[in-house]
Structure 1
Amino acid sequence: LIEKYYLIADNLCKIYGVTTRILYFCHAIFVIMELWSREVEQHSTFAANNERNTSPPLQGSFE
């Protein structure tokens, strides 16, 4: 009887471990995508500023 409970607990731990790993993975991807899109946005606005005038205002690049 104890062995059966042990097996169930072991399986639950495995399932829990896998789900947390998947969640961490998805969260990491989400964070990377967010940072990447922000980076791309910054570069495109910086390029637009460069096209308009050769020296963009400093506040634009720190936003």
Structure 2
Amino acid sequence: MRSASDDVAAVRRLAHAYHAVALAWRTLSGELAAPLWARNAAAVAAEEFDRRARLEMGRADSAQHKGEAT
């Protein structure tokens, strides 16, 4: 589900939520009791959620700057 690009607050909340999920995956990836394949999968998931967080934060910044220019 995508939020409207003009709802900057919602996009920022989404970015922060992606970041929180990335942190959770990163924590799991450091769990030495887990099998190596599971730790690797968690690390990959963390990177993807970090990427999405950056993408959404950039989208929010872009929408905010567009709103300031008008």
Q: TM-score range by the shorter chain?
A: 0.5 to 0.7
Q: 1:7-28: per-residue Cα shift (whole Å, max 9, x none)?
A: 0000000000000000000000
Corresponding position: 1:16 with 2:49? yes
**Unmatched 5+ residue regions in structure 1?**
38-63
Question: Runs of 4 or more off by more than 4 Å in structure 1?
Answer: none
Could you state the TM-score of these two structures normalised by the residue count of structure 1? 0.56
Could you state the TM-score of these two structures normalised by the residue count of structure 2? 0.51
Corresponding position: 1:6 with 2:39? yes
| Identity level (%) | 5
Bigger Rg, which one: 1
1:53 is matched with: none
Q: Size of the alignment, in residue pairs?
A: 37
- By relative contact order (CA 8 Å, sep 6+), the higher-ranking structure is 2
**Unmatched 5+ residue regions in structure 2?**
1-33
- Please state which structure has a larger fraction of its residues in helix: 1
